[in-house]
């Protein structure tokens, strides 16, 4: 069934991104919104907008009946979940299908298998993809868990089976720390995901976070090469790029092929990302998780491959087969994305909602801005603070960083504090320019360079 009308069960920049793709496909768009989002850009852009409840996400964007009612009353024939919210919720995906509509993503059973990180580890191992050494399953029995930890060795990482957004993760250096931190991690995971299950992984030191974009149509899968998302704060990505300069061509081919094998082993349908940690010293890579949805950073891949991933995922949901053969997917140049959050990077990234004033969006060759703001827009304080993503493309990584500097200079977001000064300082940093960093680099750098960010912030005013 080809999709004629699409309900967007999300908000912010990803809702805008979905509407853009749908409009180009001639699909009618229906945007749901909470009381706090009535003036959202996505609400203004969509063909129809439906209020689904109060500002708190639990009473609107995470209220399945409200979204399904809106979908039915508007005559939508498909629901796009974006990222976060219901995007990896198997029961929601099933409910959409039971209501006679298309869920833009894999089916509920695939989400169940890959969304639980413990079961995903098993599926990956069965498909021949190396996983991080650790517990074979969930740690239900604490005595058994302690034995596994001793076998794994220290430092080890406690992780949440249902994890996401860096939550429920703790590093432990001893059994005493395990005893102390496991209940905390479990409680955090229970509160965030409704599932307190934990597992253990060995800590990979000096790792790069490298992930492979895949797309499947149920029969076959292809990859769109990799992204390096090693620049993280609290295990959340802040700067992403493609391709990963740390990989040589041989490792790149093996890594990307392993992601395709994994996707094909579960007859994957839709857009997905297979995440790995890459040890630059040994050239080994290890599967960590699969995200069964579109990701925040998908546009860097669009910029180096020239493929509209959002369009492709909507068309596949509508029943089309993959439009591309692997040998026809190539990449050129380099792309970088920086996440502009309404946060004060000089004050421990404190959220900084407010009214956007004097907005100037940069342009020129190789520049893209995927955002959800306009001059006069009041940023609601209830949701995550991503305002938009600035993306740049150029032929080489070095030129790409120069272009990023130029685009950041042009970008003006008045009225609120944003993470822009952080990226201005980072784009001048020698180690960043050399590409010499791992997943712990940014946090350490932040403790040493807060003064630089403060003075950058000051010079903007
Ligand atoms: P991606 O894997 O797509 O790059 P992230 O890993 O940054 O995205 O985030 C994964 C999901 O967690 C996203 O759907 C995002 O909406 C959500 N998320 C990100 N940051 C936060 C946060 N601070 N609090 C709650 N949820 C978050
Ligand atoms: P989430 O579901 O919260 O995104 P991930 O399993 O993707 O959790 O891990 C998030 C980040 O935590 C990784 O990108 C990496 O920086 C760090 N991390 C996760 N597992 C390990 C590990 N075994 N060793 C070292 N770092 C890890
Ligand atoms: Mg992850």
pLDDT digits (tens, 9 = 90+) for 390-422: 999 999 999 999 999 999 999 999 999 999 999
What does the DSSP assignment read for 300-315? HHHHHH---HHHHHHH
Residue 236 alpha carbon to ligand 1 centre in Å: 7
Which residues touch 294 (CB under 8 Å, ≥6 apart)?
A: 14, 82, 83, 87, 271, 309, 310, 313
pLDDT of residue 110: 98
Q: Which atom of ligand 2 is nearest to the CA of 440?
A: 16
d(CA 397, CA 338): 14
Structural domains of the chain ordered from first start: 5-104 (3.40.50.20), 133-202 (3.30.1490.20), 207-460 (3.30.470.20)
* 460 pLDDT higher than 80: no
Residue 461 has pLDDT above 80, yes or no: no
Using the atom order of ligand 1, give the atom closest to the CA of residue 84: 14
DSSP class of residue 205 equals: T
Binding site membership of 165 for ligand 1 (Cβ less than 6 Å): yes
At residue 424, does pLDDT exceed 80?
yes
Mean pLDDT of 130-146: 90
In the predicted model, what is the mean pLDDT of residues 247-272?
98
The single-letter DSSP state of residue 322 is: P
Residue 379 pLDDT greater than 90, yes or no: yes
Atom of ligand 2 nearest to the CA of 237: 14
* Predicted local distance difference test score (pLDDT) of residue 140: 85
Q: Is the CB of 288 under 6 A from ligand 2?
A: yes
Q: List the beta bridge partners of residue 340.
A: 388
Output phi, psi for 239, to 5 deg. -145, 125
C-alpha 123 – ligand 3 centre gap (Å): 17
Q: Whose CA is nearest to atom 8 of ligand 1?
A: 296
Residue 295 predicted with pLDDT over 70: yes
Predicted confidence at residue 459, as pLDDT, reads 87
Residue 229 has pLDDT above 90, yes or no: yes
Element at 103 (helix H, strand E): strand 102-103
Burial of 448 (0-12, 13-18, 19+ CB in 10 A): exposed
**Non-local CB neighbours of 328 within 8 Å, separated by 6+ positions:** none
**Quick check: CB of 84 below 6 Å from ligand 1?**
yes
Please report, rounded to a whole number, the percentage of residues in the chain having pLDDT higher than 70: 100
From CA 429, how far away is CA 458, in angstroms rounded? 19
Catalytic residue among 170, 293, 339, 397: 293
pLDDT of residue 300: 98
Residue nearest to atom 3 of ligand 1 (CA): 295
Q: Are 29 and 22 in contact (CB under 8 A)?
A: yes
Residue range 139-174, pLDDT digits in tens = 988 888 899 999 999 999 999 999 888 899 999 999
Give the mutation target among 192, 277, 282, 440 for probing the ligand 2 site: most ligand atoms within 8 A of CB: 277
Tell me whether residue 167 is one of the annotated catalytic residues: no
Spatial CB neighbours of 428, under 8 Å, sequence gap ≥ 6: 405
**172-201 CB burial, b ≥16 within 10 A, e <16:** beeeebbeeebeebbebbeebbebbbbbbb
Quick check: 168 and 159 in contact, CB under 8 A? Answer: yes
Beta strands in 244-349 (DSSP E): 269-279, 284-291, 334-341, 343-344
Q: Which two tokens stand for residue 110?
A: 């695939």
Average pLDDT over residues 45-66: 97
Tens digit of pLDDT for each residue in 67-99? Answer: 999 999 999 999 999 999 999 999 999 999 999
**CA 167 / ligand 3 centre spacing (Å):** 10
Question: Across the chain, what does the average pLDDT equal?
Answer: 96
List, for residues 3-33, the tens digit of each pLDDT value. Answer: 999 999 999 999 999 999 999 999 999 999 9
φ and ψ at 390, to 5 degrees? -95, 125
Ligand 2 pocket test: pick from 152, 153, 166, 240 the residue with the most ligand atoms within 8 Å of its Cβ: 166
- Cβ count near 451 (within 10 Å): 10
The CB of 330 under 6 Å from ligand 1? The reply is no
State residue 370's pLDDT score. 98
């Amino acid at each position: 069934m080809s999709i004629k009308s699409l309900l967007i069960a999300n908000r912010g920049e990803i809702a805008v991104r979905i509407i853009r793709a749908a409009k180009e496909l001639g699909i009618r768009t229906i945007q749901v919104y909470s009381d706090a989002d009535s003036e959202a850009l996505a609400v203004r852009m969509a063909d129809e907008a439906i209020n689904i409840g109060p500002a708190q996400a639990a009473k609107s964007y995470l209220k399945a009946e409200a979204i399904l009612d809106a979908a039915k009353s508007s005559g939508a024939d498909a629901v796009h979940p974006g990222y976060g919210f219901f995007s990896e919720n198997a029961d929601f995906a099933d409910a959409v299908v039971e209501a006679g509509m298309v869920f833009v993503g894999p089916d509920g059973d695939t989400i169940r298998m890959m969304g639980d990180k413990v079961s995903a580890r098993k599926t990956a191992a069965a498909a021949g993809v190396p996983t991080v050494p650790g517990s074979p399953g969930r740690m239900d029995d604490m005595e058994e868990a302690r034995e596994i930890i001793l076998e794994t060795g220290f430092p080890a990482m406690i992780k949440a089976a249902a994890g996401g957004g860096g939550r429920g993760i703790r590093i432990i250096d001893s059994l005493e720390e395990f005893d102390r931190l496991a209940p905390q991690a479990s409680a955090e995971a229970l509160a965030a995901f409704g599932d307190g299950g934990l597992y253990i992984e060995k800590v990979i030191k000096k790792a790069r976070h490298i992930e492979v974009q895949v797309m499947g149509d149920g029969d076959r899968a292809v990859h769109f090469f990799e992204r390096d998302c090693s620049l993280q704060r609290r295990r959340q990505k802040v700067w992403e790029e493609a391709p990963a300069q740390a990989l040589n061509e041989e490792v790149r081919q093996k890594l990307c092929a392993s992601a395709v094998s994994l996707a094909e082993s579960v007859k994957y349908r839709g857009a997905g990302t297979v995440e790995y940690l890459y040890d630059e010293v040994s050239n080994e890579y290890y599967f960590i998780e699969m995200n069964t949805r579109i990701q925040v950073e998908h546009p860097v891949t669009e910029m180096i491959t020239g493929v509209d991933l959002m369009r492709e995922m909507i068309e596949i949901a509508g029943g089309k087969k993959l439009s591309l053969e692997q040998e026809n997917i190539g990449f050129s140049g380099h792309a970088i994305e920086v996440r502009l959050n309404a946060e004060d990077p000089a004050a421990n990234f404190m959220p900084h909602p407010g009214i956007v004033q004097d907005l100037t969006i940069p342009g020129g060759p190789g520049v893209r801005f995927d955002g959800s703001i306009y001059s006069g827009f009041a940023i609601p304080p209830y949701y995550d603070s991503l305002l938009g993503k600035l993306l740049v493309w150029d032929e080489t990584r070095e030129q790409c960083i120069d272009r990023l500097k130029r685009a950041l200079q042009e970008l003006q977001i008045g009225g609120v504090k944003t993470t822009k000064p952080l990226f201005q300082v980072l784009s001048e940093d020698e180690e960043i320019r050399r590409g010499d960093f791992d997943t712990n680099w940014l946090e350490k750098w932040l403790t040493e360079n807060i003064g630089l960010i403060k003075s950058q912030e000051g010079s903007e005013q």
